[in-house]
Structure 1
Amino acid sequence: MKQMTFKVANKIIWFSSALLGILMAVPKIAERHFNIYETIANSVITFLFTLFVWYYNMVTLPVYSSRDIAKGFSVGRLVKNLLLGIAVMFLLACLQQFLLTHLEFGPQMLMIEVRGILLSLTFYMFIHLLYQSYHNQQVSIELERSRTDNLGAQFELLRQQVNPHFLFNSLNTLKYMAESGDEHTVDFILKLSNFYRFTLESRKLDLIKVSQELEIMDAYVYLLRARFEEGIDLTVSVDKGLHNSLMPPFTLQLLVENCIKHNIVSLDRPLKIRVYSDGGFIIVQNNIQLKKVPEASTGMGLENINQRYVHLLGKEIEIRPSENLFTIKLPVIYEYSHN
């Protein structure tokens, strides 16, 4: 995975360092024999060491790998951090002794070293936890982006499946109608043109109005009826109030295509398809009369539609097969959340 840069604002680093320096001065101020020079020296040492700990950890963080993050805290880095902190605090203690020669070096150095260890340990764990949280958040974002891109590519491929076979069959039907002088030839050409115009206009959209989707389905079914005649019995009764709601383009067309793909369609055994609304759903339902030799299927059609609804609405479609009917319930998508 690509390495990501983790940063903490300089303002936060300097403010927190100054605040710790001031807090360390409070016990000195409360002493009976208050010495302003010792207090200032004590605060400055804490301030400088906190700055060092912040920036040292920030510089070394980018060398962490995702493997290190997965393992948790690195004991080796922690020990290295503590040893370096002890060394830096020793130098600061020597500086304080040089400026304030009246202080006893031993007790002062011990107090400063203990403070340094506590600050090093606390900041190491705190910054590491921040970095781990940041890293996990970035991974989640990348996974979601990859999932979305993959889902879009799958759905685009699914929509493109409409073109080759359907166009081939439609052109064969058109050829037959033209040769036989069918009076509906012109209407067929217009519907075919409209259908592919819808395809071009909607292919880049995530959502279109239900009224537009019904037009796409109507054009598609008209073309199918030129082949199957009364073998397809489609009834549509979607509430007018839902015509301005939304759905992913070609959803209804793909569901009708799915019905025809898996069931017998003939004049003797017409395939009855209902598209209607009920509550917060638009429902596609057909009677089951499965083909003896089923067509090859990847099983991705319904799953792609379901994933689109999960992605766009956070809800799954409902698939309810029974002995005689196959029902798919599509949640209604409104333009505004308050609906």
Structure 2
Amino acid sequence: MKTKKSIPFKISKKLIWISSISLGILTSIPKIVEHHFILAEAIADFIVTTCFSLLIWYYNSYMIPAYTKKTGKREVISLQLFKGLIVGLALMLVLSLIQYYALSHLSFGPNILMYEVRGVLINLTFYMFIHLLYQTHLNQQVVQELERSMSANLAAQYELLKQQVNPHFLFNSLNTLKYMVETKDEQATAFILKLADFYRFTLGSLKLNLLPLREELAIVDAYTYLLKARFEDGFNLQQQFNAASCETFIPPFTLQLLIENCIKHNVVSLEKPLNIHMYTENDYLVIQNNRQLKQISEASTKLGLENINQRYLHLSEKEIVIEETNNTFTVKLPLIYENPNN
């Protein structure tokens, strides 16, 4: 399942230019309405304010997201605010000096100080506005990611439900039971009880995101009994788990789905037994089987493994590991430990 890429943070260029030109016009109006109107001063005010606004817009639009990504801090009053103010003061000083020397025949008086104050106000206004826009953008990204995660989890649970009530498995189980009854097999009653146990486990665990590994192994035991009745010595399952690993957690029916996947793609017979080995290794639960692929194999969609992977990403933010050789197929599931705070 492919995840959508995050939408980058952008501010409309039209907004940047219109607001900057508007500020330039507003700051030049006092010069225009003066009794002794000097066109050069009004134009200089307009150019300085517009250029300063444009540069501050682009500076803060780049630096605020970069600073937040780097530090993880989202406070309004931060080191980036003071850096921006210093840059703004220096920038306004440079523009004012350029204006002063370009129009040295005019007497500007205390205008440079006024420009600096104006620059601080513009800088603070833009900083607060861009900071608000960026925080809104981040919140929208979080909401979208949560919605994608929930959608992926629901899709995985739906696929899991479809596989749990696999009509082929039920059909094969009933056929095995029919044969046992017809041959008056003494294990027929035990088979019925295990089949009932398996579907009771299925119905009881559908709404759970996680369950202890020891409970998952109980499901596997019931499932294995049914498979042994069908394949006899053509199917072998070995388990090696210590007490500590049994107290970890796992998404319901993960092991059953992996076993079913092994049977789906490999030959299972008395001449070529399918051997599955389950054990823990370096914070992973390992499921390994010998590869003896069917000559006419069912088409693999990889949905089963992908859905298991999506569930692990959703629940533990860790991916499963898949390793293939000519002789073995291995799936490693990250162990999920109990969080005392949740």
- Shorter-chain TM range is 0.5 to 0.7
- For residue 88 of structure 1, report the CA deviation from its aligned partner: 9.9
Secondary structure of the equivalent of 2:275? strand
| Equivalent position to 2:298, from 295, 314, 323 | 295
- For residue 173 of structure 1, report the CA deviation from its aligned partner: 2.5
- 1:1-339 to 2 correspondence within 5 Å? 69=11, 74-81=16-23, 83=25, 114=115, 117-118=118-119, 121-160=122-161, 161-165=163-167, 166-336=169-339
User: 1:277 touches 1:283 (CA, 8 Å); kept in 2?
Assistant: yes
Partner of 2:36: none
User: 2:234 touches 2:268 (CA, 8 Å); kept in 1?
Assistant: yes
- For residue 265 of structure 1, report the CA deviation from its aligned partner: 0.4
One-letter amino acid matched to 1:151: A
- For residue 286 of structure 1, report the CA deviation from its aligned partner: 0.5
Partner of 1:48: none
Give me the whole-angstrom Cα distance separating, in 2, the residues matched to 1:112 and 1:298: 70
- For residue 324 of structure 1, report the CA deviation from its aligned partner: 0.9
User: 1:317 touches 1:330 (CA, 8 Å); kept in 2?
Assistant: yes
Secondary structure of the equivalent of 2:269? coil
Give me the whole-angstrom Cα distance separating, in 1, the residues matched to 2:112 and 2:194: 88
Question: Gaps spanning 5+ residues in structure 2: where?
Answer: 1-7, 34-106
Listed one character per residue, the Cα deviations across residues 286-339 of structure 1 (whole Å, up to 9, x for unaligned) are 00100111102211211221222223222222211112111122221110379x
- For residue 274 of structure 1, report the CA deviation from its aligned partner: 0.6
User: 2:320 touches 2:334 (CA, 8 Å); kept in 1?
Assistant: yes
TM-score (norm 1): 0.67
**Matched length:** 259
Q: What percentage of residue pairs aligned between the two structures are identical?
A: 41
Secondary structure of the equivalent of 2:11? helix
One-letter amino acid matched to 2:130: L
Listed one character per residue, the Cα deviations across residues 239-291 of structure 1 (whole Å, up to 9, x for unaligned) are 12211111111111111111111100011111000111223222111001001
Give me the whole-angstrom Cα distance separating, in 2, the residues matched to 1:88 and 1:251: 74
Question: Gaps spanning 5+ residues in structure 1: where?
Answer: 1-65, 92-105
- For residue 81 of structure 1, report the CA deviation from its aligned partner: 4.7
Secondary structure of the equivalent of 1:241? helix
TM-score (norm 2): 0.67
- For residue 117 of structure 1, report the CA deviation from its aligned partner: 4.3
Give me the whole-angstrom Cα distance separating, in 1, the residues matched to 2:222 and 2:24: 74
Listed one character per residue, the Cα deviations across residues 55-98 of structure 1 (whole Å, up to 9, x for unaligned) are xxxxxxxxxxx99636596211333355457769999xxxxxxx
Give me the whole-angstrom Cα distance separating, in 2, the residues matched to 1:168 and 1:87: 86
- For residue 147 of structure 1, report the CA deviation from its aligned partner: 2.1
